[in-house]
Amino acid sequence: MTPQARAQAAIDLLDEIVASARDAGAAADTLIARYFKTRRYAGSKDRRAVRDLVYRAIRRAGERPANGRAALVGLAREDASLAALFDGSLHCPAPIAPDEAGSPASALPAWLAEKVAPILGESGLAALLERASLDLRVNTMRTDRDAMLAALPEAKATAHSPIGLRLPEGTKVEASPEWAQGLIEIQDEGSQLISLATRAAAGMTVLDLCAGAGGKTLALAAMMGGGGRLIAADTDRSRLARLAPRAERAGVTGIENRLLNPNREGDAIADLMGGCDVVLVDAPCSGTGTWRRNPEARWRLTPDRLARLTAIQSRLLDLAFTLVKPGGALVYAVCSVLDEEGAGQAQAFVDRTAGVQADKDLFTTGAYRGPGKLLTPEKDGTDGFFVARLIKA
Ligand SMILES: C[S@@+](CC[C@H](N)C(=O)[O-])C[C@H]1O[C@@H](n2cnc3c(N)ncnc32)[C@H](O)[C@@H]1O
């Protein structure tokens, strides 16, 4: 592909990504993969170049652009070599009109910037949009970190998680024999710290209330070493179904699955009432802490959606606490840097609940905020997370 044709491909893709963000459709990564599946003429260098252009355009536009051309013209206004590709030749973008400004540059939509900037500051906000490294969790049921450091020469030990490795962004780890053998899992270091904060151990009854496809469930299983009772619950049948093959690859057996009914989540887990040593609530959230990986998610979040999420989080916190046994712990986590989902949400729960105490002895990294800790890309090198460990008297 010529550089001009790559620019046109980026515009076409950005059109799809903008529409998909507006209509709650597929994520940018999925759309990009689909696009190239049907365009075999694009070689690996073309794909990389188009993808880079697309993500540069997404990162610089906090507000959802009108369309793909507006997104790329905005970028071209700051990059003369890109602007030169708008030359109007066959399969290439039409020339940029003198009064065609393109989409404006900003980090976030204004209503979100107001919330995030006081918490993270300008530099913290910028770090939220930088490219993320690729983190792995070592499956301690099958191997140890030193062995994996030796097997993966590009990997470095993570700074805070004792079971983590860090690789350069874009490393094709899923093609490695170590991944195929279940020795490693892709998992951000912050997510690893959340699992470790549960202090799940052999012999315990542990419920992962929002297990999804089981990223943290598998980490909990490794901490429990196959001993005890581990239950994975979620309202999403297809996500939960992805756990079984992952568990098989990781050599984990015996995880119980419970499919929950939205709004009546307690029904399918009523037998666990007051019986869990640990309940992990890795709650559905805005995902503001993961924008490094999904920067177009900024275009999907609305005040209404945020309000719906905070209502679910509050309900799940109350439910989860009824499932914890005296002396047990509720670990609440969101991959968000917003106080209404994190520190504020956890504080409101503590304020309305009798017999709960926040554990102030969490992992060493992160900054205490309300009853828990906030991890950020800038300060901790992880995705943005809030996590609190709340102990039942
Ligand atoms: C942040 S994701 C969990 C990620 C997962 N723990 C992991 O480590 O891969 C939040 C999950 O909450 C689930 N969820 C949404 N509403 C829920 C509800 N009312 N009760 C339980 N789970 C819910 C979603 O389906 C989603 O899988």
Query: What are the E-state strand segments in 60-148?
Result: 134-138
> Is the CB of residue 327 below 6 angstroms from any atom belonging to ligand 1?
no
Rounded mean pLDDT, 171-194: 95
Closest CA to 364 of 146, 149, 162: 162
pLDDT for 259? 98
Provide the CATH topology of domain 134-186: Alpha-Beta Plaits (3.30.70)
Rounded mean pLDDT, 107-113: 92
Cα(209) to ligand 1 centroid in Å equals 7
Contact 310, 341 (CB under 8 A): yes
Among 191, 193, 206, 234, name the best residue to mutate to test ligand 1's pocket (greatest count of ligand atoms within 8 A of Cβ): 234
Q: Which atom of ligand 1 is nearest to the CA of 212?
A: 27
Q: What is the rounded CA–CA span in Å between residue 196 and residue 163? A: 10
Positive or negative: CA dihedral 116, 117, 121, 127: positive
> Is the CB of residue 63 below 6 angstroms from any atom belonging to ligand 1?
no
What are 124's two structure tokens? Answer: 């913290």
Cα(212) to ligand 1 centroid in Å equals 5
109 class by beta-carbon count within 10 Å (0-12 exposed, 13-18 middle, 19+ buried): middle
pLDDT for 101? 87
pLDDT for 226? 82
Cα(266) to ligand 1 centroid in Å equals 15
pLDDT for 169? 85
Per-state percent for the chain, helix, strand, coil, to nearest 5: 45, 15, 40
> Is the CB of residue 243 below 6 angstroms from any atom belonging to ligand 1?
no
> Is the CB of residue 210 below 6 angstroms from any atom belonging to ligand 1?
yes
> Is the CB of residue 215 below 6 angstroms from any atom belonging to ligand 1?
yes
Binned at pLDDT 50, 70 and 90, residue 223 comes out as very high
Say if domain 191-392 classifies as CATH 3.40.50.150: yes
Cα(83) to ligand 1 centroid in Å equals 43
For the segment 13-50, what is each residue's pLDDT rounded down to a tens digit?
A: 999 999 999 999 999 999 999 999 999 899 999 999 99
> Is the CB of residue 235 below 6 angstroms from any atom belonging to ligand 1?
yes
> Is the CB of residue 289 below 6 angstroms from any atom belonging to ligand 1?
no
How high is the mean pLDDT of the chain?
A: 96
The full 3-state SS of 278-347, as one line of letters, equals: EEEEECCCCCHHHCCCCHHHHHCCCHHHHHHHHHHHHHHHHHHHHHEEEEEEEEEEECCCCCCCCHHHHH
Q: What is the rounded CA–CA span in Å between residue 23 and residue 189? A: 32
Domain boundaries, the chain: 3-106, 134-186, 191-392
pLDDT: which is higher, 236 or 131 = 236
> Is the CB of residue 284 below 6 angstroms from any atom belonging to ligand 1?
yes
pLDDT for 91? 85
Residue nearest atom 15 of ligand 1, based on CA coordinates: 284
Residue nearest atom 3 of ligand 1, based on CA coordinates: 212
Residue nearest atom 10 of ligand 1, based on CA coordinates: 284
Q: Which spans in 24-87 are helix H? A: 28-37, 44-60, 68-76, 80-83
What are 174's two structure tokens? Answer: 């899923």
Can you say which residues are annotated as belonging to the binding site for S-adenosyl-L-methionine? 234, 282
Q: Which atom of ligand 1 is nearest to the CA of 285?
A: 1
In angstroms and rounded to an integer, the radius of gyration of the C-alpha atoms of the chain is: 22
108 class by beta-carbon count within 10 Å (0-12 exposed, 13-18 middle, 19+ buried): buried
Q: Which atom of ligand 1 is nearest to the CA of 283?
A: 10
Query: What residue type is assigned to position 33 of the chain?
Result: A
Catalytic residues: 335
